[in-house]
Structure 1
Amino acid sequence: MSVSSPSDPEGSPCPLPRRQVPRGEEEKVCAVCGDRASGYHFHVMTCEGCKGFFRRSIIKGVHFACPFSRSCAVTKAKRRQCQACRLQKCFAVGMRKDMIMSEEALRQRRALRGQRRLAREQPAGLTAEQQELITILIAAHQRNFDSSFSQFTHYWPAVRLCIPSPQPQSPPEPGEPSACPQQDCLDPDVLPDVFSMLPHFADLSTFMIQQVISFAKEIPAFRSLPINDQISLLKGSTLEICQIQFNTVFNAETNAWECGQHCYTIQDGALAGFQQIYLEPLLKFHISLRKLQLHEAEYVLLQAMLLFTPDNASITQRDFIDQFQEKVALTLKSYIDHCHPMPEGRLLYAKLLLLLTELQTLKVENTRQILHIQDLSSMTPLLSEIIS
């Protein structure tokens, strides 16, 4: 009785029952040893055992020697008795060593098979209605959100008021021009309250609010609502949507919002009068949202979810708005499931819902501080109307 080898699965001490061959189907046999074949391997119909033996022998580069006359019988029962003759038989029936894949190629093929298996396990793709919704929202966003802020050039620039340092300075050397009291960069001794961002922030708020309004008006479901419902929805969501749009230009490495030629940090917000109780959570929110690496479709779906929030008591078409928000939310969930395979998509939808809750808290504090900074709200009637 032959002893089974761990490297040769066909030599199992408990042989599997022989497969019943349907009538008209010829059972395939290994061209090397005569065992039941599992398919074509390295150009020849072979069993799994001979396939593995041939691959291991070539990869390891082993040189076998036959102790007899190099004419040993290679059968299912005797195939392990002489490896030299078995390998010779492999070549004789046409097995090709140039078809053996490297370990790296095998790893890549296994990874590809794993991806395909995960793709089959993923839920079905988006419906035609969901795809159409995403197309409408992306088109509205791209037409109305100026990510380069090129149209913002007509607004007031940031006002940097620079006064001479109160500390005595040495007089300039002969022939050296005297320093201008208004410089591009602030002196370390200049107090923050002489750096006014209020006019600039007022115009920036107006600019972004106008973009949100234009975005909303391009959504058919929004246009179908009565004008009073449209106004209510915009009042309830515009500040939050502005933050979602603002996140698309946020640089998580520098903690700055890069808006074309303009660049903002929370320090600029502090110099406009906003307090740290709002600015620190705001920065944390933008860092967390940016780390999720959302697609453009997910950004616009978030904006639509915020827009269609029927919280205002004066809303008349509450059922329609609630149903549309649910449709947007389901589309976002389906998009994440379809386009963010595991582990990337793990809990992504839940994380977004938590961030939207944080954004609601930020909006309340933002509104409170805008009302506190009376100069800001008085500079922009549109902002004043939104928070009223």
Structure 2
Amino acid sequence: MKKEMIMSDAAVEQRRALIRRKKRERMGASPLGAKGLSEEQQTMIRELMDAQMKTFDTTFSNFKDFRVCLRLRGEDGSVQNYTPQADRSGAEIFSLLPHMADMSTYMFKGVINFAKVISHFRELPIEDQISLLKGATFEVCQLRFNTVFNAETGTWECGRLSYCLEDPAGGFQQLLLEPVLKFHYRLKRLQLHKEEYVLMQAISLFSPDRPGVVQRSVVDQLQERFAIALKAYIECNRPQPAHRFLFLKIMAMLTELRSINAQHTQKLLRIQDIHPFASPLMQELFSITDG
């Protein structure tokens, strides 16, 4: 603890990244074999799948009463694709922010409810629950969004809404969304199963080095159990040589997502200073203070 206190932020993050990498390598070399999932692992995956089904509606039918830019609605009242455009002042880009804040808040509520369904999460102290959610909610949202991402068209197909954010003129988009977009393309290419997605969500959620986590050893053990379950699932359901390194690729994607999360929070705070738009829940999760 004393050593961390005198280290720079960059050095601390580098050290944590090294620890995460060694942990991935250790799990990647574990001699599980392809003997199938244990009963405990099957129960773990069933609980995650049940939590996902209860808290994530891929049709977005309950996403209502959101603020919407005029460009989003057709003359007949139907909601159409939105491709952002911006002049140099960024006015059009900012006009989309309230809508995106509403969408983010809707997704964040789903992630919070997802966590509450998981028995291991409910057993943690409330302080650790809050710390884990504040650290992981954005990441879990991106994993969920990837399940509705169409890599052929570059759009997120959210029920009656779809979003295409590849406009090269988008100052807001380039600042905030370009790394996210690249991440979605890479993750989609892995063609993951639903079970692999929910296990990724659990691994992200149970990250012991989130700021404020007290029972780090407990959370670390839970994260490792979810990671080992993911590895066992892959070995059991993807025996082909082409998937030999899928587990390591997934863990690398989670590390990349962690980095994007940190960048996203910093950029979000800068945009909030220019154009306040965050909902109360977003302000709480990203520690945004008024004034």
Task: Give the TM-score band, short-chain normalised.
Answer: 0.7 to 0.9
Which residue type is aligned with residue 39 of structure 2?
A
SS in 2 for 1:309: coil
Residue of structure 1 in register with 2:279 after alignment: 380
Out of 238, 253, 273, the position equivalent to 1:355 is 253
CA contact (8 A) 1:197 1:268 kept: no
Query: What is the deviation of 1:376?
Result: 6.3
Residue of structure 1 in register with 2:112 after alignment: 213
User: Distance between the aligned counterparts of 1:153 and 1:144, measured in 2?
Assistant: 16
Matched, 1:345 2:243: yes
Matched, 1:198 2:109: no
Which residue type is aligned with residue 245 of structure 2?
L
Residue of structure 2 in register with 1:46 after alignment: none
Matched, 1:147 2:46: no
Residue of structure 1 in register with 2:46 after alignment: 135
Which residue type is aligned with residue 385 of structure 1?
E
Task: Give 1 or 2: higher helix fraction.
Answer: 2
- Cα offsets for 1:288-346 (capped at 9, x unmatched): 11111111110000000000001134322211111110000000000011111222312
Query: What is the deviation of 1:268?
Result: 7.3
Residue of structure 2 in register with 1:238 after alignment: 137
CA contact (8 A) 2:135 2:211 kept: no
In structure 2, stretches of 5+ residues that fail to align are: 1-32, 73-79
Residue of structure 1 in register with 2:161 after alignment: 262
SS in 1 for 2:241: coil
- Worse-superposed segment, 375-384 or 135-144: 375-384
CA contact (8 A) 1:202 1:376 kept: no
In structure 1, stretches of 5+ residues that fail to align are: 1-121, 162-183
User: Distance between the aligned counterparts of 2:207 and 2:237, measured in 1?
Assistant: 26
**Aligned counterparts, 1:3-42, within 5 A:** none
Residue of structure 2 in register with 1:248 after alignment: 147
User: Distance between the aligned counterparts of 2:48 and 2:66, measured in 1?
Assistant: 27
- Cα offsets for 1:143-185 (capped at 9, x unmatched): 1001111111222223439xxxxxxxxxxxxxxxxxxxxxx89
SS in 1 for 2:232: helix
User: Distance between the aligned counterparts of 1:185 and 1:301, measured in 2?
Assistant: 31
SS in 2 for 1:143: helix
RMSD of equivalent CA atoms: 2.6
Residue of structure 2 in register with 1:66 after alignment: none
Which residue type is aligned with residue 197 of structure 2?
Y
CA contact (8 A) 1:159 1:197 kept: no
User: Distance between the aligned counterparts of 1:314 and 1:331, measured in 2?
Assistant: 26
Query: What is the deviation of 1:201?
Result: 0.5
- Worse-superposed segment, 280-289 or 322-331: 280-289
Which residue type is aligned with residue 188 of structure 2?
R
Residue of structure 2 in register with 1:30 after alignment: none
Out of 299, 306, 310, the position equivalent to 2:208 is 310
Per the alignment, do residues 344 and 379 of structure 1 end up closer, same or farther by CA in structure 2, a change over 3 Å counting?
same
Query: What is the deviation of 1:377?
Result: 5.6
Per the alignment, do residues 212 and 190 of structure 1 end up closer, same or farther by CA in structure 2, a change over 3 Å counting?
closer
Query: What is the deviation of 1:269?
Result: 11
Q: Percent identity?
A: 48
Which residue type is aligned with residue 37 of structure 2?
L
CA contact (8 A) 2:154 2:166 kept: no
Out of 115, 121, 126, the position equivalent to 1:222 is 121
- Cα offsets for 1:237-272 (capped at 9, x unmatched): 00011000000000010011000111112247975x
SS in 2 for 1:201: helix
> How many residues are aligned here?
244
Matched, 1:366 2:264: yes
Per the alignment, do residues 268 and 219 of structure 1 end up closer, same or farther by CA in structure 2, a change over 3 Å counting?
farther
Report the structure number with the largest CA radius of gyration: 1
Per the alignment, do residues 297 and 269 of structure 1 end up closer, same or farther by CA in structure 2, a change over 3 Å counting?
farther
- Cα offsets for 1:55-112 (capped at 9, x unmatched): xxxxxxxxxxxxxxxxxxxxxxxxxxxxxxxxxxxxxxxxxxxxxxxxxxxxxxxxxx
User: Distance between the aligned counterparts of 2:55 and 2:66, measured in 1?
Assistant: 17
Residue of structure 1 in register with 2:191 after alignment: 293
SS in 2 for 1:225: coil
Residue of structure 2 in register with 1:87 after alignment: none
CA contact (8 A) 2:132 2:207 kept: yes
Per the alignment, do residues 376 and 292 of structure 1 end up closer, same or farther by CA in structure 2, a change over 3 Å counting?
farther
CA contact (8 A) 2:98 2:277 kept: no
User: Distance between the aligned counterparts of 2:143 and 2:86, measured in 1?
Assistant: 34
Normalising by the residue count of structure 2, what TM-score does the alignment of the two structures yield? 0.77
